[in-house]
Amino acid sequence: VTISPTSDTTEWTLADWNYARVSLSAEQAQGKPVDVIGFVYRDETLPDDQFYAVRYTLSCCVADRTAASLLVTMPNAAALQNDSWVRVTGTIEAQRAQGDDLPIFMIADAQVEPVEQPKDPYLYQ
């Protein structure tokens, strides 16, 4: 996938969005459409209207796995079960955290639907 301000962002995976965070400005990403599949991750630090959509990425083997994620904002996110798989669509809201050079991307106006775990749950880099 080509990561550029003009590419079709609905084709991007969570790993592509992780890369976009370091290659696009907040202004270039703002309002871009998102369509990703990942598992739900929530902990007690998140407000009730947020969760992370997550996929593990591999370069070589399970020992080198890392997580790729996007923060998702939606009403009643706390009702989602951790580790359940979902498809999330919406648009990117890009923000700058104070003291951080990289923007924070989150999916706003999120629509979430349950899906089956992919046959291969990993993304490869």
Q: Which long-range contacts (CB under 8 A, 24 or more apart) does 2-11 make?
A: 5/29, 9/33, 9/34, 9/92, 10/34, 10/35, 11/35
In sequence order, what are the residues at sequence separation of 6 or more whose Cβ sits closer than 8 angstroms to the Cβ of residue 23? Answer: 3
pLDDT of res. 67: 92
pLDDT tens for residues 89-104? 999 999 877 777 788 9
pLDDT of res. 79: 95
Q: Which of 4-8, 15-19, 101-105 has the highest mean pLDDT?
A: 15-19
Residue that wins the pLDDT comparison between 116 and 62: 116
pLDDT of res. 105: 94
Residue with tokens 């399970």: 62
pLDDT tens for residues 17-75? 999 988 998 999 999 999 999 999 999 999 999 999 999 998 777 667 789 999 999 99
